[in-house]
Amino acid sequence: MFPLNTWYVACSADEIDAKPLGRVICNERIVFYRALENRVAAVEDFCPHRGAPLSLGYVCEGKLVCGYHGLEMGCDGKTIAMPGQRVGGFPAIRSYPVEERYGFVWIWPGDKDKADPALIPHMEWHDNPEWAYGGGLYHVKADYRLMVDNLMDLTHETYVHSSSIGQKEIDEVPCKTVMNGDSVVTSRFMENISAPPFWKAALRANGLADEVPVDRWQICRFTPPSHVMIEVGVAHAGHGGVDAPDEHKVYSVVVDFITPETDTSMHYFWGMARKFKPQDKALTAQIREGQGKIFSEDLEMLERQQANLTRYPDRGLLKLNIDAGGVQSRRVIDRIVAAERAGAQTASPVTA
């Protein structure tokens, strides 16, 4: 249950080095490698000779070589050569549109004729001297939509992340959800409160007092297929909250790219782009470590939640006002998937 005619993050750019990388995306086994001129290519992870995984092979002079019998594969999915054999007539395997941008490799798993690189979302923080970024990757054994739910309802922070970013005011202050086309925005603004431990440390790192009242904000933005960007931060109270001048606040964007692996597993690319002390590499490493621990706290909850949903597939789930962001995001996903399926049926009518 995921859109296909769209761009997903397949991997970070540094995951593909001299060796090919095998990864399952949207139930498709795909191998990524660097072809000529260091350009990333992606084809089915299936050798047309004997079905061996091409990801177990190697790259030679820009060609993907099967590690079983040495068949050479081109980035267009066509066989090139094989020692002592004539393989030019082999049927081509599937190739995929890929783009390397913002430190990630993006893949379009649907109709390649519809793949438009201009549709890859812009990342303001990349290669911008005013910003610093650090992040990582988690493999999560849960439906990717559960992560969308999680990120579009931050009420769980009070309970799952009580020692770092959680606080009672998240429960006490209502959130607001609005729709803008296929984008969903859920926001919560907390005024004149104490900063939780993670944000106290951020204030200190930016040379700001951490024991004074602050205004805190959480602005969660979902865009298809499964990207969630969350504006977060705190400012000394009375200076305008999220709109406060930089000298009174710490401001960041939590970056979440959620890529379906299978119906019940995902690749979760997480990170934080911050707009304070961007040149401080030690601070970047410190925040990355802290954020990684925070996100790891979600993993057991989501995986056990998936186990329960798998065990009891007919049980309905309750929906409260705090769930509005996730509910609306799922409706966007459902609408896109339904439109893709309807288009596929129209393009390929069933004949008797």
Residues 237-282 pLDDT 10s: 999 999 999 999 999 999 999 999 999 999 999 999 999 999 999 9
pTM of the model: 0.93
- The pLDDT of residue 170 is 87
Tokens of 268: 């979760």
Helices (H) then strands (E): counts for the chain: 6, 17
Give the distance from CA 10 to its chain's centroid. Answer: 9
Instruction: Name 170's Cβ contacts closer than 8 Å, sequence gap at least 6.
Output: 154, 155, 157, 158, 188, 190, 218
| DSSP states of 102-145 | TTEEEE--S-GGG--GGGSPP-TTTT-TT-EEEEEEEEESS-HH
Q: Give the number of residues written for the chain.
A: 352
- The pLDDT of residue 351 is 44
Q: Out of 56-65, 130-139, 196-205, 314-323, pick the least confident.
A: 314-323
What is the spatial distance between Cα 320 and Cα 303, in angstroms, rounded to a whole number? 22
82 pLDDT band (50/70/90 cuts)?
A: confident
Asked whether 216 and 205 are in contact (CB, 8 A), the reply is no
Query: In this model, does residue 163 exceed pLDDT 90?
Result: no
Asked whether 336 and 110 are in contact (CB, 8 A), the reply is no
Query: In this model, does residue 352 exceed pLDDT 60?
Result: no
Asked whether 260 and 266 are in contact (CB, 8 A), the reply is yes
- Biggest CA–CA distance in the chain, Å, is 77
Amino acid at 38: N
Q: Out of 79-88, 99-108, 292-301, pick the least confident.
A: 79-88
Domain coordinates in residue numbering, the chain: 8-118, 127-337
Question: The domain 8-118 belongs to what CATH superfamily?
Answer: Rieske [2Fe-2S] iron-sulphur domain (2.102.10.10)
- The pLDDT of residue 348 is 55
- The pLDDT of residue 349 is 54
295 pLDDT band (50/70/90 cuts)?
A: confident
The interaxial angle of helices 197-205 and 281-311, nearest 10 deg, is 160
Residue 180, CA distances (Å) to 121, 183, 219, 323 in order: 16, 5, 14, 17
- The pLDDT of residue 100 is 97
Query: In this model, does residue 75 exceed pLDDT 70?
Result: yes
- The pLDDT of residue 347 is 63
Q: Find the radius of gyration of the CA atoms of the chain.
A: 23
Q: How many CB atoms lie within 10 A of CB 87?
A: 15
| DSSP states of 136-176 | EEEEESS-HHHHHHHHH-GGGHHHHTTTTT--HHHHHSPPE
Mean pLDDT score, 188-207 = 95
For the 127-337 domain, the top CATH level (class) is alpha beta
Give the distance from CA 345 to its chain's centroid. Answer: 29
Dihedral angle, C-alpha 330, 336, 340, 346, nearest 10 °: 110
Helix, strand or coil for residue 196? coil
Arithmetic mean of pLDDT over the chain: 93
The string of pLDDT tens digits covering residues 4-31 is 999 999 999 999 988 999 999 999 999 9
- Is 127-337 in the same CATH topology as 8-118? no
- The pLDDT of residue 44 is 97
What is the spatial distance between Cα 236 and Cα 321, in angstroms, rounded to a whole number? 29
What is the spatial distance between Cα 249 and Cα 207, in angstroms, rounded to a whole number? 10
The string of pLDDT tens digits covering residues 123-151 is 999 999 999 999 999 999 999 999 999 99
Asked whether 32 and 43 are in contact (CB, 8 A), the reply is no
Going by C-alpha positions, the residue among 78, 74, 73, 72 that lies closest to residue 91 is 78
Asked whether 13 and 135 are in contact (CB, 8 A), the reply is no
Positive or negative, the CA dihedral 51, 142, 115, 113 is positive
The string of pLDDT tens digits covering residues 220-239 is 999 999 999 999 999 999 99
